[in-house]
Amino acid sequence: MRVLTVVGARPQFVKAAPVSRALRADHDEILVHTGQHYDDAMSAAFFRDFEMPEPDVNLEVGSGSHGAMTGEMLRRLEPVVLAHEPDGVLVYGDTNSTLAAAVVASKIAYDGGRRPWLAHVEAGLRSFNRRMPEERNRIVADHLSDMCLAPTAAAMANLAREGLDERALLVGDVMVDAHAWAVERAGAHLPAVAREHDRYVLLTMHRAENVDDPSRFAPILDGLSLDLPVIFPVHPRTRAALERGSHGLPDNIIPIAPVGYLEMVALESRAYAIATDSGGVQKEAYLSGVPCITLRSETEWVETVEAGWNRVVDADPTAVAATLADEAFMNRDRPRPALYGDAHAAARIVAALESHHARVTEARSPQKETAQ
């Protein structure tokens, strides 16, 4: 089986790493990087940390508006798929790279009429917040895909509600696989700044609807003015918003450059609490057993909230301090069931691709056509 994988943004390198490793054991993978993220700390660092092979193709699309970026991806990806004629295309998550790859794969046909199947990993997530570009991207990717590989029962229910249950399969979350792999290696990678503080809050923030909206960004930053140090690896979108805006960081926030995955896992596991608007970091907080404060109005990862490990506080400037002062929430002595799977999602995904591929190949066989 020959699979063409498309990634482009930081969380997709994390998700693709375990699947790529499992896939390459028995199959051919062509790894295409759209170039959506390109700084060393946003891209190459992840390939090094996961000991992943370099991408076979980099489309070098870079930054731009949604339309310009997605359009360039469509234009540059189509000939690559035609040149490699993969049996299937594999996409991850909900970025513009996901959207573009899903659109290309679902419409392309090779000479002779053969078409690749399309599989979407992390299918079925919904925030029900239509302002998020990610919500549009993931809805389109799910509806174009032949296989919706879902991480949770909640995601399966969302797919069923949209009539996609026949294409949906619960495989667990590949970020658990990635995290389990990294935990064993992260110990030596704790950044020096964290060693200087016994107790710190780890902060990440990059959602466009937070950092590009001063009416949310300012109260969130005000709310992070605490008695505790806050270690803040700053995403480039957020760095640009801070440079543009008039609102500076409170003195207790320690901004650092984005860190690699092993450093991040080390920072997470030592944190007193994590404050974030990231999807992946909410789950990693749970996996690390660290209370999480989500700086959004909702979350796709509802299980972490239901289990009592995550609190969604929106942009309320008083909520972070109040949550840190809530002893019941900060007390880690509560169950932490395996909500996101058993770290074998990658193997299940490869098995699902193999059986879908076998079905498609069988349906296409000449005997079958003659018999019909």
Q: How far is the CB of 30 from ligand UD1 (least distance, A)?
A: 22
Of the candidate residues 5, 20, 34, 96, the single one contacting ligand UD1 (CB under 6 A): 96
**Cα–chain-centroid distance for residue 126?**
13
Window 242-281: contact mask with ligand UDP (x via CB under 6 A): ----------------xxxx--x-------------xxxx
Q: Which is nearer to ligand UDP, 87 or 277 (CB)?
A: 277
Among 284, 292, 295, 313, binds ligand UDP (CB under 6 A): 284
Q: Residue 284 binds what, of ligand UDP, ligand UD1, none (CB under 5 to 8 Å, by partner type)?
A: ligand UDP
Of the candidate residues 27, 237, 336, 344, the single one contacting ligand UD1 (CB under 6 A): 237
- Helical residues (DSSP H) of the chain, grouped into ranges: 10-24, 44-49, 66-84, 96-107, 133-144, 153-161, 174-186, 192-195, 208-211, 214-223, 236-244, 261-270, 279-288, 302-306, 319-324, 327-330, 345-364, 366-371
Report the DSSP beta bridge partners of residue 294: 276, 312
182 vs 350 by CB, closer to ligand UD1:
182
> Quick one: residue 176, left, alpha or beta (phi over 0 = left, psi -120 to 50 = alpha)?
alpha
Residue 372 and residue 364: Cα distance in Å, rounded?
Answer: 11
Sheet with 201-204, strands from edge to edge, namely 253-256, 230-233, 201-204, 273-276, 292-294, 310-312
Question: Does 14 engage in binding with ligand UDP (CB under 6 A)?
Answer: yes
Among ligand UDP, ligand UD1, none, partner that 353 touches (CB below 5 to 8 angstroms by kind): none
Check residue 60 for interaction with ligand UD1 (CB under 6 A). Answer: no
Among ligand UD1, ligand UDP, none, partner that 124 touches (CB below 5 to 8 angstroms by kind): none
Q: Take residue 4 and report the two structure tokens written for it.
A: 């063409």
Give the nearest distance from C-beta 2 to ligand UD1 in angstroms: 26
Residues whose CB is less than 8 angstroms from the CB of residue 40 and which lie 6 or more positions away in sequence, other chains included: none
Kindly name the residue from 206, 235, 356, 357 that is annotated as catalytic.
206
Q: Which partner, ligand UD1, ligand UDP, none, binds residue 219 by CB below 5 to 8 Å per kind?
A: none
Compute CA distances 317 → 68, 177, 218, 220, 289, whole Å.
Answer: 35, 35, 9, 6, 25
Q: Which one of the spans 146-154, 232-240, 289-297, 334-342 is the region binding ligand UD1 (CB under 6 A)?
A: 232-240
216 binds ligand UDP (CB under 6 A): no
From the list ligand UDP, ligand UD1, none, pick the one residue 237 interacts with, judged by a Cβ distance below 5 to 8 Å according to partner type: ligand UD1
Q: Take residue 172 and report the two structure tokens written for it.
A: 């667990």
Binding mask 127-146 for ligand UD1 (x = CB under 6 A): ------xx------------
CB of 110 to ligand UD1, least distance (A): 28
Active-site residue flag, 206? yes
| One-letter identity of residue 156 | M
Tell me if 42 contacts ligand UD1 by CB under 6 A. Answer: yes
Pick from 86, 93, 85: which is nearest to 141 by CA? 93
Which residues touch 260 (CB under 8 Å, ≥6 apart)? 41, 45, 46, 48, 49, 189
3-state secondary structure of 118: strand
- Min dist CB 206 to ligand UDP, Å, is 6
Catalytic residues: 206
Positions touching ligand UD1 (CB under 6 A) are: 9-11, 36-39, 42, 63, 94-96, 133-134, 206, 208, 235-237, 240
Residue ranges that bind ligand UDP, judged by CB under 6 A: 10-11, 14, 204, 206, 233, 258-261, 264, 278-281, 284
